[in-house]
Structure 1
Amino acid sequence: MAGSSHGHTPAAWTGVIIAFIGFCIAGVFMVAAQPVGFWAGMVVVLLGGAVGGIMRMMGLGQPKQNHPVHQVAGEREPAGAKG
């Protein structure tokens, strides 16, 4: 997907960074055998997803109409159809 700007937005970067920090927290507490710390890290992971989603709704994410997956190619026959 060369040239795609998928994920290169403030909403995506912020959500992923927060989720990564939560993943690291959960990993440390899992090794330390501390279930409360592990679940606190999982809450931070979910918080990262929520923050990213809220930022996207605020207009800091990529609009759906600009993404190539959401564009219609036109009136063409499906692949493999005999015409």
Structure 2
Amino acid sequence: MAGSSHGHTPAAWTGVTIAFIGFCVSGAFMVMAQPAGFWAGMVVVVLGGVVGVIMRAMGLGQSKEDPHAEARAAAAKSQPVSVKS
């Protein structure tokens, strides 16, 4: 995925960070046997996804265009190189 810069956007980082915080909150409250806190953390996890989608809609996510599509098409047209030993 390094070649496609998958996930390297402000929308992705923000959404995942919020969801991770919610996951940690839920885990802590689960250990403390507090169901209300657990579900509050789960709401934060979902909120992270919603924030990520909203930020992507605002243009802070990865564009739908594939910047490497032209290079892939050119590579697909080329003939494989045979190696003689």
TM-score, normalisation: structure 2? 0.76
Alignment partners' CA distance in 1, 2:26 and 2:67:
33
Identity %: 74
The aligned residue for residue 56 of structure 2 is 56
Q: Which runs of 4+ in 1 moved over 2 A?
A: 1-4, 66-69
Instruction: Number of aligned residue pairs: give it.
Output: 73
The one-letter code sitting in structure 2 at the alignment partner of 1:11 is A
Greater helix content: 2
Q: 1:68 to 1:40 in 2, by over 3 A?
A: farther
Deviations 1:25-62 (A, max 9, x none): 00000000000000000000000000000000000000
The aligned residue for residue 2 of structure 2 is 2
Aligned pairs for 1:1-83 within 5 A: 1-66=1-66, 73=73
User: Which 5+ residue runs of structure 2 have no aligned equivalent?
Assistant: 77-85
TM-score, normalisation: structure 1? 0.78
